[in-house]
Amino acid sequence: MNPVSLRSFSRLAVCTAFAAFSALAGTVASAAEEINLYTTREPALIQPLLDAFTQAHQGSIQVNTVFIKDGLLERVKAEGARSPADVLMTVDIGNLIDLVDGGVTQPVQSAALEAVIPAHLRDAQGQWFALSLRDRVLYVEKDLPLTQFTYDDLADPKWKGKVCLRSGQHPYNTALVAAMIAHRGEAQAEQWLRGVKANLARKAAGGDRDVARDILGGICDIGLANAYYVGHMKNAAVGTDARKWGDGIKAIRPTFAQTGGTHVNISGAAVAKHAPHKDNAVKLLEYLVSEPAQALYARANYEYPVRANVAQDPVMQALGPLQVDSLPIAEIAKHRKQASQLVDKVGFDQ
C-alpha cells in the first residue's frame, strides 16, 4: 500500500471509528433520557400529564408507561436490582405505603416537592409523595332536599334500603373504614359498618359510577363515591350514559363529626429503589406538582390538586372548598388491615 493509500485508509478508519462511537454515545444518551413508570392507574387518565412533561422538556425525556392493575409490589420485588422501574404510582395511600414497607422505594430530597406538598401528604423521609386528592363524597338523587351529611349518617336507619356502594373491600372503602376506626375505635366502627350494611339497597358491588347509575335508575337515593367521577360524568357528551348518570345526581361533601373534615385518599408516587434514571424520575415528580400539571389534574382529571390556589373545573368548584379531615393520611393507613377484617366480619359484601 502506497503512502497516499495508507493515509486515506487511516483517515477512513478514524472516521469510521468516530462515527461508530458517536452512534453508540447517541444511543446511550437516548437511552438515558427516558423514564419507566409503573402505575396502577389507567394510563389514559395520566397520559395528558405525561405528554405535557415530555413537551416541557422539548421532547428529550420520554415516559414509558407500564400499567399493572394488581401485584405491583410483587412484580418490582421479583425484578430485583435489575428492575427497569423508575417511578411507582398508585391511587391509594395504602398501596403506596405497602411499596415503602416492601423495600422497593428510595428516599428523595427535593425542595420543589417539599415546598408544594403539605407535610401530612408526603412521607417525612421522602419515600412517597401525594400528587392529587380524591375526596369520598355523597352522591344524592338530584331532587332530594339534602345539603349536609356526615359519614355517621350513612348508618342512620332512615336510609334503610336507600344506599348504594361498591365493594367494602375496595381500597377506596377500606380506607374510609380505616379512617372511622382511627376516629372512633374498632367497636364503634363495627357498629357503624353494620348500620351501613343494613341500609344497602343492593349488594355492595360495581364501581363508583354505578352508584350514580343506580340512583338514576331508582334503586337507591344516596351512595358514596369519589368526587372526580362527578366531573367526568357531568362533563361527558350530552346523550351519553355517563352524562345521564351525572345529570341525575348532585354531590355533597360529607364530614366526620369529630373533625368537620372530609375523608380523602390520594394518587401518589415514589421513586423505585433501583431506578436506572433516578434524576429523571425526580424531575417527573417535581413536574407533576408544578402549576401546569396540577391544573391538568384539576381540569382534565377533576381531582383536587395538592398545590394551593390552582383553578378547578366549574363542576368541581361548585362543590365548594374542600376541608380535608385533619387526621394524617398515614395514620389512617395503619388501620387498613383492621378495616379489611371488619368488612369480612360483618359480611358487608355478602
Binding residues for Fe cation: 228-229
HEC letters along 33-99 = CEEEEEECCCHHHHHHHHHHHHHHCCCCCEEEEEECCCCHHHHHHHHHHHCCCCEEEECCHHHHHHH
176-197 burial code (b ≥16 CB/10 A, e <16)? bbbbbbbbbebeebbebbbbbb
Please tell me the distance from the alpha carbon of residue 70 to that of residue 112, in angstroms, as a whole number: 31
Please tell me the distance from the alpha carbon of residue 348 to that of residue 204, in angstroms, as a whole number: 7
Q: Are 310 and 119 in contact (CB under 8 A)?
A: no
Residues 6+ apart with CB under 8 A from 29: none
Query: What is each CA distance from 344 to 49, 198, 200, 223, 331, in whole angstroms?
Result: 38, 15, 16, 20, 22
Please tell me the distance from the alpha carbon of residue 17 to that of residue 118, in angstroms, as a whole number: 53
- Annotated binding site: which residue ranges? 228-229
DSSP letters spanning 218-278: TS-SEEEEETHHHHHHHTSPTTSHHHHHHHTEEEE--B-TTTS-B-EEEEEEEEETT-TTH
Please tell me the distance from the alpha carbon of residue 40 to that of residue 69, in angstroms, as a whole number: 5
What phi, psi does 57 have (nearest 5°)? Answer: -105, 25
Please tell me the distance from the alpha carbon of residue 342 to that of residue 345, in angstroms, as a whole number: 5
